[in-house]
C-alpha cells in the first residue's frame, strides 16, 4: 500500500534471513512535535493516531496489529517471555524473547538503544530497550540468558544495536561517570573529555563491550545517531534541549 512505501526501515546484513527493522520517524500519521511515525502510547500524542502508526508498522512487518507486541518499559533488566498477544495488563519489562513464529517484538526508544537479537538455528529472537541504566544493570545479558532458556546458544546469537545517541552528543556529569567507574574501572574507556567537568559517554560502545564479554556470537551497531538527525529520528535529549513539551518514540521490530 502507498503509506507503507513511505515508511523508512533500517535493516542490518548481520540479521539477514530474519525479518527485522529499525523504523525511522518517516511515513507516519502524527503531526506537530510528533510529526511522523510516533509509536509511543506513553506520549501525549493523539492515541488514535499512535494506533494508526502502529498498524502501519504491523503491516510492514506482515502481521495483524494485535501480534505486534510491546511492553511497559521502565529502564529495568527484566525480560518477558512472549508466547502470544498479552492476555491482561501489559507486563513491565525492558526486553522480550520468543520462539513463537508470527509474533513481532517491538521496542520503543528515543535515544536509548534498541537491540535486536536472533539465533536463526534455534528459531529464537529477542529485543531489548537498553538505556544507560538498563545496560549497566544487565538487561543485555538477561536477554541472552532468556534466549538460552528457549533453546538458543549464545555463541550463535547475533545482536544489532539500532539508532541511538552517539558519544559526541551524549554529555554527562561527573557523578554519572563515577557511578560507572565504581562498578568497573575498565568502563573509563567509554568516556571522553567534554567541556569543563563534563564527559561524553559512548553508550553503544559500552553495550557492545558488555555483549562481547557475555560470549555473544556477534554484535554490531548500525552507527545511526538519533540526536544528530531530526528528520529521521526522535530524540529525548534533543527535545529537552529545545524545551519542547514531549517527544515521539521510534519502534524497532523483529519476528520469526
pLDDT tops 80 at residue 189: yes
Q: 128 lies in a domain? A: yes
Q: Give the domain range for residue 239.
A: 2-14+21-166+202-255
Number of neighbouring beta carbons within 10 Å of residue 213 = 11
Instruction: Quote the number of domains for the chain.
Output: 1
Question: Which is nearest to 129 in space by CA: 250, 8, 18?
Answer: 250
Q: 151 lies in a domain? A: yes
pLDDT tens, position by position, 95-134: 999 999 999 999 999 999 999 999 999 999 999 999 999 9
Q: 126 lies in a domain? A: yes
Portion of the chain with pLDDT greater than 70, in percent: 98
Longest dimension (CA), the chain: 52
Q: 181 lies in a domain? A: no
Report the CATH number at residue 30: 3.60.140.10
Q: 184 lies in a domain? A: no
Q: 175 lies in a domain? A: no
How confident is the model at residue 173, as a pLDDT? 97
Q: 80 lies in a domain? A: yes
List the grid coordinates of 2. 502507498
Q: 176 lies in a domain? A: no
Q: How far apart are CA 131 and CA 134, in angstroms?
A: 5
pLDDT tens, position by position, 203-235: 999 999 999 999 999 999 999 999 999 999 999
Amino acid at each position: 500500500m502507498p503509506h507503507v512505501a513511505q515508511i523508512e526501515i533500517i535493516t542490518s546484513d548481520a540479521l539477514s534471513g530474519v525479518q527485522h527493522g529499525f523504523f525511522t520517524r518517516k511515513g507516519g500519521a502524527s503531526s506537530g512535535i510528533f510529526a511522523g511515525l510516533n509509536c509511543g502510547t506513553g506520549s501525549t500524542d493523539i492515541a488514535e493516531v499512535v494506533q494508526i502508526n502502529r498498524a502501519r508498522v504491523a503491516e510492514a512487518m506482515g502481521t495483524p496489529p494485535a501480534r505486534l507486541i510491546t511492553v511497559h518499559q521502565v529502564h529495568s533488566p527484566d525480560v518477558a517471555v512472549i508466547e502470544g498477544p498479552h492476555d491482561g495488563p501489559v507486563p513491565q519489562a525492558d526486553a522480550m524473547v520468543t520462539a513463537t513464529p508470527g509474533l513481532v517484538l517491538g521496542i520503543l526508544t528515543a535515544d536509548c538503544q534498541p537491540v535486536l537479537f536472533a539465533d536463526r538455528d534455534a528459531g529464537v529472537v529477542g529485543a531489548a530497550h537498553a538505556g544507560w541504566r538498563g545496560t549497566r544493570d544487565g538487561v543485555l545479558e538477561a536477554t541472552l540468558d532468556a534466549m538460552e532458556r528457549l533453546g538458543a546458544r549464545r555463541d550463535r546469537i547475533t545482536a544489532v544495536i539500532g539508532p541511538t545517541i552517539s558519544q559526541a552528543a551524549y554529555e554527562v556529569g561527573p557523578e554519572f561517570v563515577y557511578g560507572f567507574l565504581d562498578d568497573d574501572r575498565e568502563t573509563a574507556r567509554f568516556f571522553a573529555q567534554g567541556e569543563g567537568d563534563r564527559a561524553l559517554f559512548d553508550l553503544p560502545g559500552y553495550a557492545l563491550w558488555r555483549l562481547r564479554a557475555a560470549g555473544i556470537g556477534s554484535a554490531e551497531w548500525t552507527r545511526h545517531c538519533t540526536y544528530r538527525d531530526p528528520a529521521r529520528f526522535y530524540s529525548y535529549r534533543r527535545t529537552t534541549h529545545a524545551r519542547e513539551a514531549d517527544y515521539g518514540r521510534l519502534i524497532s521490530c523483529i519476528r520469526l
